[in-house]
Amino acid sequence: MHEQLDRNERLQLMKFVCSFAWADLEVRPEEREFVARLVRRLELDTRETQQVEGWLRLPPRAESVDPTEIPAEHRRLFLDEIRGVIESDGDVADEERENYDLLSSLLA
């Protein structure tokens, strides 16, 4: 399914994943590793990888992660990867769960 994403959609996915990693105001090592594995699976180039690393240092601006911009055909993939990052540290914070539930509702 990842191979169906174009360059912009891959970066959009990573922006959402990184923003959810920040939902509890802390990006844990397990979340960083999840993101690194996803970067490899998506085969991001050096520039794209640097952009993702920047989002792990400072979260993407809230207005830059607009759920209405997620293509309908990729919504399940986005939700699956977001769920993966918030579960990666074994502790789903209330903020993460609430944000995920809201996004899931918006994409339904």
Per-residue pLDDT of the chain (108 residues; tens, 9 = 90+): 778 899 999 999 999 999 999 998 999 999 999 999 999 999 999 999 999 999 999 999 989 999 999 999 999 999 999 999 999 999 898 989 999 999 999 998
What per-residue confidence (pLDDT) applies to 41? 96
Q: What is the pTM of this model?
A: 0.93
What per-residue confidence (pLDDT) applies to 5? 93
Domains belonging to the chain, first-starting first, are: 2-107 (1.10.3680.10)
What per-residue confidence (pLDDT) applies to 2? 78
What per-residue confidence (pLDDT) applies to 108? 86
What per-residue confidence (pLDDT) applies to 90? 92
In order of 27, 49, 89, the CA distances from 12 in angstroms are 18, 13, 22
Amino acid (one-letter) located at 65: V
What per-residue confidence (pLDDT) applies to 70? 95
